[in-house]
Chains A and B, each alone.
Chain A
Amino acid sequence: DAGITQSPRHKVTETGTPVTLRCHQTENHRYMYWYRQDPGHGLRLIHYSYGVKDTDKGEVSDGYSVSRSKTEDFLLTLESATSSQTSVYFCAISEVAGETQYFGPGTRLLVL
């Protein structure tokens, strides 16, 4: 299995609070991605990174920001959590754009 960890694995928070999710990889892959998965929608791309300090928006980026200061870490921040951001969040990595992505174990976030 690819060396990808996510933290925390579970989180319950209240509306309006900031939340940061962390993705850590030991594979030295250039590309990193944040997805959310919701019933009826499948996996949707939030943000992605193509290198240190190089990030771009995905299809559902509103309300989220990211940072990548080191190759191995990709942070996803919900500046002010809303109930619509209750979801399962997956981080993924790939060595080459458009090729196989390997996923972390996911973070289950509940916003009350």
Chain B
Amino acid sequence: RKEVEQDPGPFNVPEGATVAFNCTYSNSASQSFFWYRQDCRKEPKLLMSVYSSGNEDGRFTAQLNRASQYISLLIRDSKLSDSATYLCVVERAGGTSYGKLTFGQGTILTVHP
């Protein structure tokens, strides 16, 4: 099983749609979780951290389910500018892996007019 697995998509949605991405992780000891966004030929940028209680930032909502070891990202009222690749990121935990992050391969989102 991969450390972090995401549905690669692509997801093609119209403007204004709601879209959700899921991600599963294998290490139950992981403590930190993030969603990053990467535009074409650009560097990854932090979209939001994911907290156990769930958190929201404008149109974006992140949820963490530790029991099932999955993370979700919900985007409401999609904009054309949301088109990007979304990376699920999980802290590695234990031994020499401490402090390192594992990046999922990303989910491609295209928002069309």
Q: Which residues from chain A sit less than 8 Å from chain B, CB to CB?
A: 31, 35, 40-43, 45, 48, 50, 56, 58, 90, 97-106
Contacts and interface: CB of A to CB of B under 8 A. Distances in A.
Nearest to A42: B105
A98 B96 CA distance: 12
Could you say which of A58, A90, A100 has the most chain B C-beta atoms within 10 Å of its C-beta? Answer: A100
B43 A105 contact: yes
21 contacts: A35-B103, A41-B105, A42-B106, A43-B44, A48-B100, A56-B96, A58-B100, A90-B43, A97-B98, A97-B100, A98-B32, A98-B92, A98-B98, A98-B99, A99-B32, A102-B46, A103-B44, A103-B45, A104-B43, A105-B43, A106-B43
Given A103-B45, A104-B43, A105-B42, A98 B105 contact: no
Could you say which of A42, A102, A106 has the most chain B C-beta atoms within 10 Å of its C-beta? Answer: A42
B44 A98 contact: no
Nearest to A1: B45
A42 B104 contact: yes
Nearest to A91: B43
Interface in B67-113: 87, 91-92, 96, 98-101, 103-106
**Which 7 A-B pairs give the minimum distances between C-beta atoms?**
A97-B99, A103-B43, A42-B105, A43-B103, A98-B99, A98-B91, A42-B103
A53 B71 CA distance: 36
B31 interface: yes
A15 B101 CA distance: 31
Interface residues on B, range: 20 to 34
A29 B43 CA distance: 18
Interface in B15-51: 31-32, 34, 42-46, 49
B63 to A, nearest CB: 19
A50 B96 CA distance: 12
Could you say which of A40, A101, A102 has the most chain B C-beta atoms within 10 Å of its C-beta? Answer: A101
Contacts of A41: 105
Contacts of B100: 45, 48, 58, 97-98
